[in-house]
Amino acid sequence: MRWSKYLLLLFVVAPLLAGCGRESRIGGIKGEKKVGPDYSVRDDRQARERMQYREFLRLAGDRVSKGDLDGAMKFARSAEKLDARSPDAFTMQAVIQGAGGQSEAAGVLYRKAADLAPQRADVLGNCGAWLCANGHPAESLVWFDRALADPSSNARAASLANAGGCALDAGQNERAEANLREALELAPNNAYALESMARNEVLHGRYFEARAFYQRRLAAAPATVSVLQLAIQIEERLGDRTAAGRFQQRLREEFPSGATLNPQG
C-alpha cells in the first residue's frame, strides 16, 4: 500500500468564503452636510460580481460534497469567467478533477493556481500535496518550503504536517520528525501529523510511542484504512494480539476492501 495516497489536500477555498454576505456602506459623517451621493457597496458592479463569484464557488463545493461533479464543474467554471486571475476557481476545478479520478488534470490546475498566486501558502501547499500523493515526495518538499516561507500563514500547521508526512515518503526522516513535531505544537489534533508521527516512531522501532500517536490519531478524527492497518502493525509488534485482532475486526467491518491490504512501515 502507498502511504502517500492518504495525504490530505487540506487547502481548498474555505478562507475565501468567510465573510460572504457582509454589507458595508460609504456615507457622510452624522451631522455633516453631504457633498455627494450615499454609495452602497451592494450597488457596485465589482462588489456584486465578487459576491457572485463566491457564491459560485460555494455552490461548486456543495455539489462536490453531494457527488455531483458535473454540476460542481459548471459552477467552478462560471466562477473562473467572473475572475480568471483568482486562483480559487482553478483550485476548485482541481478538487473536482481529483474527485473524478482525473489526477493529471488536477495537477495542471493546481499548478495554474500557483502561477496566479505564487506567494499564497495554501495554494503552494496544494501543489506540494498533489506531487506527494502522485509519487513525487521529494519534489513536493520544494513547494512546502515555499509555502512555509510565510511564518504568519494560517496554513502553516497544515503545510508542516503535509511536509512531514511527505518527507517520510522521501526518506528524509530527520526533517519529517522536525516538521511533524512543529505541526503538532501548532495543531495538536492534526490527524495527518499524528498518523505520520506514528509511522515515524515505527520506522525507529519505538512502538510504545507509536501506539500513543495512533491512539491520539483515532481520537482526533474518524478511522481510515491506513490508520487501522497501522494500529494492527504496531500492536502486532508489541505482541498484543488481542488488540491487533480488535483492529482487524474493525477493518473488516468498516472497510471490507481494506482488510485484504497489507500495511507497510
* 85-113 per-position pLDDT tens digit: 999 999 999 999 999 999 999 999 999 99
Residue range 202-238, pLDDT digits in tens: 999 999 999 999 999 999 999 999 999 999 999 999 9
Average pLDDT over residues 239-257: 96
pTM attached to this predicted model: 0.81
Average pLDDT over residues 49-69: 96
Cell of 201: 516512531
Residue range 124-164, pLDDT digits in tens: 999 999 999 999 999 999 999 999 998 888 889 999 999 99
Question: Residue 66: is its pLDDT beyond 50?
Answer: yes
Question: Residue 181: is its pLDDT beyond 70?
Answer: yes
Buried b (16+ CB within 10 A) or exposed e, 143-180: bbebbbeeeebebbbbbbbbbbbbbbbbebeebbbebb
Residue 19 is predicted with a pLDDT of 34
CB atoms within 10 A of CB 36: 8
Residue range 69-80, pLDDT digits in tens: 999 999 999 999
Residue 40 is predicted with a pLDDT of 53
Average pLDDT over residues 170-186: 97
Residue range 7-51, pLDDT digits in tens: 555 455 444 333 333 333 223 323 334 444 454 545 588 899 999
Write the CB contacts of 125 (distance below 8 Å, at least 6 apart in sequence).
10, 11, 143, 144, 147, 155, 158, 159, 162
